[in-house]
């Protein structure tokens, strides 16, 4: 038996802990047990509480405990030391708080049975302490506390802990948000966003708990910074599949459209509101269920792009990008092309206007979405009215340009920088399914030369975009009995076929000469 270590002399513990924490490999159950046989957990925890002023000791012991609890052996000891987690969550040290939060997560990952872990959380009052860490801890503590709460909510037995039925419960997120500081409120809203990402079931519980009203209340705030913080969270939430389903509420969309329409509103807020609205309306089921709200948003964005007073480049680009998001679905594209006047006109006009590079780029990508580049093959073609509107707008734009024809303005895009060309490939990938556009493409040999030349692009994304465009033209060409049977277009057909056969990545018909090694002459 080794001599029992005394916390009154921490030098030995610090030396051994430094060696253990800095071990280059992964600690095993055996190594964790060996260390704890020499320095039992009560001794380490006591040293953390009483010897934190010893230089380097706290950081080293925190690192050691993280390593130990990552092993199965160390994790199996956590249920026996729940009082330590309690003390750790209330410690003055942010490092110790962070360790305690991580230990809760490790407990939830390692304990067999959701009911057992939920029982430990409830009996030891862990959840309220985690919430306090979330609200009052530093950034690192807030992050790990959020992760621990997500893990609790993700278990069937733990979901009732995070979402109590009684709205007056002290731990109810709605009540907590109404009583804490502005920073704490933003952190709670950030937690709610993270909870939406756990699972569809948890997202449904969040929605039923009426927690989205907290975001709506903050949007109505007169505090620009607070509103911007919430808008950023809503933007993050709109990226989560489970979140979009429940975020698409008419009340929220109306609030967003009012921000977009408010001429005195900060440009950053308006841009974020447009981007969030665009993401929400990329869901065509929502447009079908609430077309009135969708039209209101589109009208508000249209007014920004129509305004002669709009000089904010970022705001215009955001508006075009939002229209592109809306136009990514069939229902959205039809809405943009069928409104009066069609909001898609801004996208098409800006796509072939070289007055602003960023604006043209945003418009080209938006036009690609409207044309169906991102949609499935059977969802590319729209209603006859929408298709006619698309054709008319492109011909009208071309006639007002120096190029006069659609093929001319398409070629002009391909003659610009690689980033613009990539967007142009996307546009023609979608438009090629239209017979009128296919005719325009085939009327310009230069376009065919560019999309079939494997050396045109040098980046992977550029090569793939060119190839996808070439493949879409080839498919449409073969499906057109009129074009495929025309002897005059036989050269184009052969060129497209060969380019598709060779693939996207700098394919060569012939092998390049290889260097040979020749033995040196001997004297």
Q: Is residue 313 one of the residues assigned to a domain?
A: no
For the cut 60, the answer to whether the pLDDT of residue 483 exceeds it is: yes
Q: Is residue 192 one of the residues assigned to a domain?
A: no
Kindly report the pTM of this predicted structure: 0.76
Q: Cα-atom radius of gyration of the chain, to the nearest Å?
A: 31
Q: What is the pLDDT of residue 311?
A: 60
| Chain segment 144-175, per-residue pLDDT in tens | 999 999 999 988 888 889 998 888 888 899 89
For the cut 60, the answer to whether the pLDDT of residue 519 exceeds it is: no
Range of the domain at 3: 1-152
For the cut 80, the answer to whether the pLDDT of residue 37 exceeds it is: yes
**Which range is least confidently modeled, 3-17, 326-340, 410-424?**
3-17
Q: Is residue 321 one of the residues assigned to a domain?
A: no
Q: What is the pLDDT of residue 1?
A: 34
State the average pLDDT over residues 230-255.
76
For the cut 80, the answer to whether the pLDDT of residue 259 exceeds it is: yes
| Chain segment 268-301, per-residue pLDDT in tens | 888 888 998 898 888 777 777 678 888 888 999 9
Taking a C-beta distance cutoff of 8 angstroms, is the pair 214, 177 a contact? Answer: yes
Q: What is the pLDDT of residue 348?
A: 95
Q: Is residue 75 one of the residues assigned to a domain?
A: yes
CATH code at position 116: 1.25.10.10
Between helix 212-219 and helix 182-196 the angle, nearest 10°, is 140
The count of structural domains within the chain is: 1
| Chain segment 68-89, per-residue pLDDT in tens | 999 999 888 888 888 889 999 9
Q: What is the pLDDT of residue 10?
A: 74
Work out the pLDDT band at 2, boundaries 50, 70, 90: very low
| Residue keyed to tokens 């438009």 | 431
Q: Is residue 451 one of the residues assigned to a domain?
A: no
Q: Is residue 297 one of the residues assigned to a domain?
A: no
User: How far apart (Å, rounded) are the C-alpha atoms in residues 398 and 503?
Assistant: 32
User: How far apart (Å, rounded) are the C-alpha atoms in residues 215 and 293?
Assistant: 18
State the average pLDDT over residues 310-336.
88
Q: Is residue 412 one of the residues assigned to a domain?
A: no
Q: What is the pLDDT of residue 522?
A: 45
| Chain segment 353-390, per-residue pLDDT in tens | 877 888 999 999 999 999 999 998 888 999 999 999 99
State the average pLDDT over residues 413-422.
92
| Residue keyed to tokens 């869901």 | 283
Q: What is the pLDDT of residue 481?
A: 78
Q: What is the pLDDT of residue 384?
A: 93
Mean pLDDT score across all residues of the chain? 85
135 vs 510 pLDDT, higher one: 135
Residue 217: Cβ within 10 Å count: 13
Of 209, 286, 300, 321, whose CA–CA distance to 254 is shortest?
Answer: 300
CA angle 60–63–66, rounded 5-degree value? 150
Q: Is residue 287 one of the residues assigned to a domain?
A: no
Q: What is the pLDDT of residue 389?
A: 95
The fraction of the chain above a pLDDT of 70, given in percent, is 91
Q: What is the pLDDT of residue 226?
A: 79
Q: What is the pLDDT of residue 509?
A: 47
For the cut 70, the answer to whether the pLDDT of residue 515 exceeds it is: no
> 334 burial class (0-12, 13-18, 19+ CB within 10 angstroms)?
buried
Taking a C-beta distance cutoff of 8 angstroms, is the pair 452, 495 a contact? Answer: yes
- Among 139-143, 179-183, 315-319, 484-488, the range with the most confident prediction by mean pLDDT is 139-143
**Which range is least confidently modeled, 48-57, 103-112, 319-328, 414-423?**
48-57
Q: What is the pLDDT of residue 112?
A: 61
Work out the pLDDT band at 41, boundaries 50, 70, 90: confident
Q: What is the pLDDT of residue 230?
A: 85
User: How far apart (Å, rounded) are the C-alpha atoms in residues 505 and 375?
Assistant: 24
**Which range is least confidently modeled, 106-120, 198-212, 458-472?**
106-120
H or E element, residue 272: helix 267-281
For the cut 90, the answer to whether the pLDDT of residue 3 exceeds it is: no
């Amino acid at each position: 038996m080794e001599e029992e270590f005394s916390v009154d002399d921490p030098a030995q513990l610090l030396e051994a802990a430094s060696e253990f924490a800095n071990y280059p490999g992964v600690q095993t159950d055996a190594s964790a047990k060996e260390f704890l046989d020499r320095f039992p957990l009560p001794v380490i925890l006591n040293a953390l509480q009483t010897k934190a002023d010893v230089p380097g000791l706290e950081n080293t012991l925190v690192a050691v405990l993280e390593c130990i609890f990552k092993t199965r052996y160390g994790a199996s000891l956590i249920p026996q030391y729940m009082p330590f987690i309690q003390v750790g969550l209330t410690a003055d040290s942010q490092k110790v708080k962070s360790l305690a939060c991580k230990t809760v997560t490790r407990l939830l990952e390692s304990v067999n049975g959701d009911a057992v872990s939920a029982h430990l959380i409830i009996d030891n009052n862990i959840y309220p302490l985690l919430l306090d860490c979330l609200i009052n801890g530093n950034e690192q503590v807030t992050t790990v506390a959020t992760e621990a709460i997500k893990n609790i909510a993700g278990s069937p037995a733990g979901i009732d802990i995070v979402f109590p039925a009684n709205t007056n419960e002290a731990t109810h997120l709605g009540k907590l948000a109404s009583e804490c500081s502005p920073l704490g409120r933003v952190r709670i809203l950030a937690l709610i966003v993270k909870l939406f990402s756990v699972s569809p079931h948890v997202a449904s519980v969040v929605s039923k708990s009426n927690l989205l009203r907290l975001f709506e209340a903050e949007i109505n705030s007169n505090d620009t910074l607070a509103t911007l913080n919430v808008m950023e969270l809503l933007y993050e939430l709109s990226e989560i599949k489970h979140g979009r389903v429940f975020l698409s509420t008419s009340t929220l969309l109306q609030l967003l459209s009012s921000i977009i329409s408010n001429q005195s509103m900060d440009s950053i807020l308006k841009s974020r509101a447009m981007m969030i609205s665009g993401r929400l309306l990329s869901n065509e089921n929502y447009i079908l269920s609430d077309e009135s709200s969708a039209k209101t948003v589109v009208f508000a964005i249209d007014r920004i792009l129509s305004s002669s007073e709009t000089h904010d480049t970022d705001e215009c680009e955001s508006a075009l990008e939002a229209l592109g998001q809306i136009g990514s679905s069939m229902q959205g594209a039809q809405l943009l092309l069928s409104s009066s006047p069609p909001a898609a006109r801004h996208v098409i006009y800006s796509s072939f206007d070289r007055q602003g590079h960023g604006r043209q780029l945003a418009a080209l990508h938006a036009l690609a979405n409207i044309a169906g580049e991102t949609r499935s093959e059977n969802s590319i073609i729209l209603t006859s009215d929408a298709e006619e509107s698309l054709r008319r707008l492109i011909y009208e734009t071309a006639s007002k340009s120096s190029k006069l024809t659609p093929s001319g303005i398409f070629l002009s895009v391909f003659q610009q920088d690689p980033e613009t060309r990539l967007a142009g490939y996307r546009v023609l990938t979608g438009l090629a399914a239209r017979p009128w556009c296919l005719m325009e493409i085939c009327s310009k040999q230069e376009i065919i030369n560019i999309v079939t030349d494997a050396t045109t692009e040098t980046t992977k994304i550029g090569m793939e975009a060119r190839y996808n465009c070439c493949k879409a033209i080839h498919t449409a060409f073969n499906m057109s009995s009129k074009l495929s049977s025309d002897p005059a277009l036989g050269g184009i057909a052969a060129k497209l076929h060969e380019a598709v056969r060779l693939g996207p990545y700098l394919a060569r018909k012939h092998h390049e000469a290889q260097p040979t090694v020749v033995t040196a002459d001997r004297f």
